[in-house]
Amino acid sequence: MNRVALGICYDGSAWYGWQRQPVLPSVQSELENALLKFVGQPVAVCCAGRTDRGVHALNQVVHLDPPVKRSAQAWVSGLNAFLPSSISVQWAQEVDDTFHARFSARQRTYFYVLREANVRSPLLDGKVGWVFRPLDLERMRRAAEHFVGTHDFSSFRSTDCQAKSPVREIHAIDIQKSGSFYVFRFVANAFLHHMVRNLMGTLLYAGYGRLDASDIPTLIERRDRQYAPPTFAPDGLYLAGVKYEEAVQLPMQDPLTLFQQHLGPWIIPARPEPEDPGVA
C-alpha cells in the first residue's frame, strides 16, 4: 500500500463543510472527484479535522491509499488541475501505512480573525468575522485563561456533536489586536463540533461586558449548552495547523507563517506555541 498525505488549503465560503454530503457541495467531495479524474478510480480520503460550513483551512491534512504510485509533485500538479480555484493541494508526501490524518494528530491550531468596525466590509465578506460593538481586550484575555487545561466542554459543543467524550485539553488561547483586527489563536489536542465558534461567542460576551471571567468556571461546570452564549459566525475561522509525533515528518510550515503568507501583513504574531516534546 502506498499511503499518501496531502496538505489542503481552501476557502470554505462556497462549501457546506469538509464532509461529503449526499447532494450539497463539500470540500471532501471535490477532492475525491479530482482524485477520480486524476487516477481513474474512486479514492476515499480521511482528514485531520472536519471543518464546518464556511470555515477555511490553511493546512488541512488528509491521507489516502491510492491504487497508483505518483511523485509528490505529480500529486500536487495533477490534483490541482482538477480542483476549483477555492481548493488547492499545497504539498504531498508518502507516509507509513500506520499514519492516520485524524487519529495520529497530537495537536490542532485554529485562528479566528475578527474585525471591529461600525459597518461590515464587503471586501472581507466570508474571510473575517465582524462585530460593531467595542470590545475590551483584557476582559477577553482574562476569560480565555479559564478555558486552558483539561475540561468537560459539554457547554461549548454543538447539540449535534457525536464525539464519545466531551473532554478536551486546550493548550493555549491567545488574543492579539492590530488596528481594527483581532486575531484569536486556539490550540488544543482536538476540538468538539462548533467548539471554537462557541468559545468565540463566550469570549465576545466577556469583551462586551456581558459576563465576567469569573463566570467561565460556572459555565464549564454546568455542562449544558443552553447556559453558554450563542455560537459565533464561521466566517473568520481557519484551521491553521496540525501536529503529529516527531517521527512523522511532513512538509508543513508553522501555522503563524502560513497565516501571514495567505492573509497579509496585518496579521500580528501570537505568542509561541506551547512546548510539547512529543510533537514535531
Q: What is the C-alpha to C-alpha distance for residues 68 and 150, in angstroms, rounded to an integer?
A: 42
Annotated active-site residue in 52, 125, 160, 215 = 52
Q: What is the C-alpha to C-alpha distance for residues 250 and 280, in angstroms, rounded to an integer?
A: 9
Residue type, 92: A
Residue type, 35: L
CB 154 within 8 A of CB 193: no
Residue 265 per-residue DSSP state: T
Q: What is the C-alpha to C-alpha distance for residues 243 and 119, in angstroms, rounded to an integer?
A: 37
- Number of Cβ within a 10 Å radius of residue 101: 22
Is 52 among the catalytic positions?
yes
Q: What is the C-alpha to C-alpha distance for residues 9 and 25, in angstroms, rounded to an integer?
A: 16
Long-range contacts from 67-72, C-beta under 8 angstroms, 24+ separation: 67/39, 67/41, 67/43, 68/39, 69/2
Concatenated DSSP letters for 169-183? EEEEEEEEEETTEEE
Instruction: Give catalytic residues, as residue numbers.
Output: 52
